[in-house]
Amino acid sequence: MRLVLLAAVVLLMLVEDGSGERTLSRRTRRELASPLHVGGIRDPFGSYCQRRGGCCPGRDDQCTVPYLDTICYCDLFCNRTVSDCCPDFWGHCLGIQPPFIGVCERNGNRFFTGQTYKENCNLCTCGTTGRWECEQNACLMEADIINNVNRGNYGWKAANYSQLYGMTLDEGIRFRLGTQRPSRTIMNMNEIQMNMDPQSERLPLYFNSVEKWPGKIHEPLDQGNCAASWAFSTAAVASDRISIQSMGHMTPQLSPQNLIACDTRNQGGCAGGRVDGAWWYLRRRGVVTEDCYPYQPPQQTPAEVGRCMMQSRSVGRGKRQATQRCPNSYNHHNDIYQSTPPYRLSSDEKEIMKEIMDNGPVQAIMEVHEDFFVYKSGIYKHTDVSFTKPSQYRKHGTHSVRILGWGEDRDFNGTPRKYWIAANSWGKNWGENGYFRIARGDNECEIETFVIGVWGRITMEDMQSHHHHHRRRHI
């Protein structure tokens, strides 16, 4: 309460800045000054004329009392042209109800015109009529979306996340995703030929990279309010692939920050970027580890990105070396990791599965809808809980994630439900420890539309020979 009052006073001081100069001697100034009570009377129950010792008859330019950062008048002239009367002028001098006063109620407390509180993502202001006037934004955490998902038979459960509470849906889409759709040329890129024989290829009902390659699959990170899933998903898939292909000789967690701050050509940093650009950078320049170049989530303006603190130069045979020390001064391992060109997989569920099982996690682009933010557990499918709401409640944006495996469940009436196991980049407290499951085989949220695999660049020194058995076409 006291804080709110203080905030109102500060606000008032800003609003009233121009009228602070009115002087006692120049009545014309007084008439020209803006009215004191725009938007309602501040401190309506304060004692002014009363404390002064009474009111003045007629016009008396000396009949003033300090009021906030200016003065107010207690003469009978004060309400003649524009009002500069003290808040208690009407009550104390005229014995009538003061005009322009709004008192709003909230939880049994009284608030005055201009005071505010925040209801989830919306600012509510006490209006002059004594009504709270609230913004009408769709919020990222809407109680009725959460409740309707949890009451329905959607196959997944929703939760209210404190780290996302108070954001608007627009802010969620603007700051928590961050992958631009690949350009038309990239989208039209040929898929690799897999020569898969559906008869002979027996894919298990359940597969999880975490279990097949223990210690080589990296845990989900948290991008915070930085729309850089393009960098997080790319770094995560490359990290896993390098660890798998080096057979655990190297298990680097590659630095998304290195990509965000340094891969700036046609990339938007924390305002979104392209995965093909990120792969280009990983291939040609390479990045260091997360521990060497730690993630710095933006503090103030979400789109702000720190300057690039890591460069590399060629040392022959396609290898590169860092030219700077680690930004983390406690880490002295500034080795540069590179990838080979990425390749696009077909949208065929079985081919994606085979690729994951043979070679490790893949990167996928997906459309994130309003209900995805509240996902807590189960097999996600975009629901219809917002369909009857105004359009500002139904929004989506493009994101990228890492798919690590798959499985199959049965719902309450025994129908099998196939799913992908994927890692998000919203921290480990979101979803199933940072992971989520999503319906498989129906291109849910377009997750099967654009799927990418890659080889780490592992040389003979890094490990012994490694062979792969698909013909692949490179990006």
Ligand X SMILES: *[C@@H]1O[C@H](CO)[C@@H](O)[C@H](O)[C@H]1NC(C)=O
Estimate the crossing angle of helix 229-245 against helix 349-359, to 10 degrees: 50
State whether residue 66 is helix, strand or coil. Answer: strand
Tell whether residue 94 is a contact of ligand X (CB under 6 A).
no
Strand intervals (E) in 120-213? 122-126, 132-134, 156-158, 207-208
Nearest approach in angstroms of CB 128 to ligand X is 11
Which residue's CB is nearer to ligand X, number 148 or number 208? 148
Q: Is 83 in the site for ligand X (CB under 6 A)?
A: yes
Does residue 45 interact with ligand X by CB under 6 A?
no
**138-157: contacts with ligand X (CB under 6 A):** 141, 143
Task: Decide: 178 and 414 in contact? Cβ < 8 Å.
Answer: no
Residue 73 or 450: the one with the smaller Cβ distance to ligand X is 73
Q: Indicate which single residue of 18, 20, 54, 99 sits in contact with ligand X (rule: CB under 6 A).
A: 99
Residue number with CB closer to ligand X (79 or 258): 79
CA atoms within 13 A on the CB side of 365: 23
**Phi and psi at residue 290, to the nearest 5°:** -60, -40
441's torsion region: left (phi>0), alpha (psi -120 to 50) or beta? left
Report the nearest approach of ligand X to the CB of residue 396 (Å).
22
From 19, 70, 79, 400, residue interacting with ligand X (rule: CB under 6 A): 79
Q: What is the 3-state secondary structure (H, E, C) of 61-114?
A: CCCEEEECCEEEECECCCCCCCCCECCCHHHHHHCCCCCCCCEEEECCEEEECC
Q: How far is the CB of 196 from ligand X (least distance, A)?
A: 46
Segment interacting with ligand X, rule: CB under 6 A, options 160-168, 308-316, 339-347, 449-457: 160-168
| Closer by beta carbon to ligand X, 99 or else 152 | 99
The C-alpha atoms of residue 306 and residue 322 are separated, in whole angstroms, by 18
Q: What is the DSSP letter of 4?
A: H
From 49-57, 158-166, 227-235, 271-279, give the range in contact with ligand X by CB under 6 A.
158-166
Binding residue for ligand X, selected from 165, 198, 206, 314, defined by CB under 6 A: 165
Given the complex with ligand X, which of 165 and 206 has the nearer CB atom?
A: 165
CA distances to 75, 164, 231, 437 from 432, in Å: 68, 16, 22, 8
160 is an interface residue for ligand X by CB under 6 A: yes
# binding residues, ligand X (CB under 6 A) = 8
Task: Name the token pair of 191.
Answer: 């898929």
The residues pairing with 115 across neighbouring beta strands, listed in sequence order, are none
**Angstrom distance (rounded) from CA 355 to CA 332:** 35
Q: Which of 162, 185, 188, 465 binds ligand X (CB under 6 A)?
A: 162
Smaller CB distance to ligand X: residue 140 or 326?
A: 140
24 lines the binding site for ligand X (CB under 6 A): no
Which residues here bind ligand X, judged by CB under 6 A? 79, 83, 99, 141, 143, 160, 162, 165
